[in-house]
Structure 1
Amino acid sequence: MDRIDALRLFAAVAELESFTRAAERLGMTAGAASKQISALEDRMQARLLERTTRSVRLTDAGRALLERVGPWLAEYDAIENGLVAEQAAAAGVLRVSAPVDFGSSRLIEPITRFMAQWPGVEVRLEFSDRMVDLVDEGFDLGVRIGQLNDSSLIARRLAPAPIKVVASPAYLNAAGAPEHPNDLARHDCIIDRNKSAPNQWRFQRGDDAVEVKVSGRLTLHGARAAVCAAANGAGIASLPAWAAHTSLDDGSVVEILPDWAPDHRDLWAVFPSNRFLAHRVRLLVDHLVDWFSDGL
């Protein structure tokens, strides 16, 4: 039993004038309660309670201690109960970090739907393509795409995030369509510096794995910029399928090497710890799992 619990036991014995009833209130035996009070008296170097076979009374030292710690214990319990209630309630501030392109195009709608469902929650959504340190920077939740390397974070998979390789029909008519990933080394490829290895493109087909070193005249940051550049004939882009859907549908780009699967990626919700996780964070993670259950 820690010192706060010992003081709480002392206050209960003083209030109820009984070791037995105080022990019952705190879920312990009367013998254990008596030992804890004795240990507290040893630490205080004073006798706090007069014990008889029929009653328990405060000594002068005990009365002085209770006058000091009684209000403090009440305030401490109020703070503790308030924090527990806040953790359990679907209310309060949620700080969420996400990549710029994905966050601004695919995360706004589920976040606003969540806020409509839980009007007590305030969301502070911040977009950044750098690797944000959730703990040091005070974020409750991060949404990330790719492979996770930080083992200190708890991660929950939201959806697969496949990659597609695309180019405009005009570019392919002029430069020819690659028939094998190795052919990409001879093409103008759009280099996205947001990727961890922007010049190394990896492919898998069955048991065959290929890694190609690519180059190109255009270097940029972000999937939306890459698909726009590809649609304008700047070269071949490797980018998330969710970023290419509209351009594929309207025909401004076409998929190439469809039999070869580029690097597999996933969409994740990551957070610092499962222990003492605020209820509003759990609710948002569950909401995102449900929202992206049909994929991106």
Structure 2
Amino acid sequence: MAVLNPRLRELQFHEIFQQCRAGHLAIVYGAATVRVRSSLKVFAQSLQSTYGAFRLPQSSQAKFADYHVEVTRPRNPRAFIRSQSQFRIDGIQPFDPFPLANALPLFEWGVNWCFGQRANQYVLLHAGVLAKGKRAVIMAAPPGSGKSTLAAAMMLRGFRLLSDEFGVLRPETGDLIAMLKPVALKNQSVEVIRAFSDKAVIGPLFTGTRKGDVAHLAANDASADAVHHPARPALVIFPAFQAGAALDSHRLPGKDAFAHLAFNSFNYHLLGAIGFEAIANVIAACPAYALHYSDLDAAISQIDRLLDKASEGTSVDAI
């Protein structure tokens, strides 16, 4: 039986910090590997808490990284007046500095930026992806729809999380691969998920960021251990949270589902025919539903039901 490398939470903090400071810490997300350099203790502490389920990569995996990033203090005069952190990739700084205390959300958004800008070998859907076995649910929606909150809740109820931000679709095979990161919870969603499950491991709360108050839900062990396992699209959901609303779902015609999914893509317009064919194949293979909800458990039960029916090849009427 193969010996598994330790999880980040199983290491002593000084080990994590030494690897960060030396630029040796590699994080394997599935679709990408990122090598991190940082001498900021506050960042290393946040990283260990929110990436605790991730394992140190095997030596063969650690040799190559898609992105080499740094989270450091600026060296300009303002840095002596107000403590700040900056994100760099290959020596380039794509964002203005953040407060030092907000180094983790800066890193998270920086990795998203790197992947969204450079991973055009994939069709990148703005979607959460979760799976049961090899069957994947694609949840595509614009910001503010409750997509990340629902993805977090589904993981806490037994789904495997592949991503809450990027639906990474391989056009040559039609399967979905993980881009597993902590789930970014914003504003009221933080307390909603904290109350939803005592299994939720939530990192520190960062107040007053450009997206409001943000905290990160750590991926669970099952999701981290399956980071290299692809899944086949089986169901497409377009979720929308409405406070106090009764649960409602209805199936969308293929042309509407295609338009919604293509609209919720980071790089559809860049890929041309490749993107068109890949998304058309998903819609041809998967029933698509609009889902309006206010209760998370009711929404998850309905998604379970729709997924089972999709696997049986039968249609489900609106409820």
Q: TM-score, normalised by structure 1?
A: 0.18
Higher relative contact order (CA 8 A, sep 6+): 1
Which has the greater radius of gyration?
A: 1
Q: When you count helix as a share of all residues, which structure comes out higher?
A: 1
Q: TM-score, normalised by structure 2?
A: 0.17
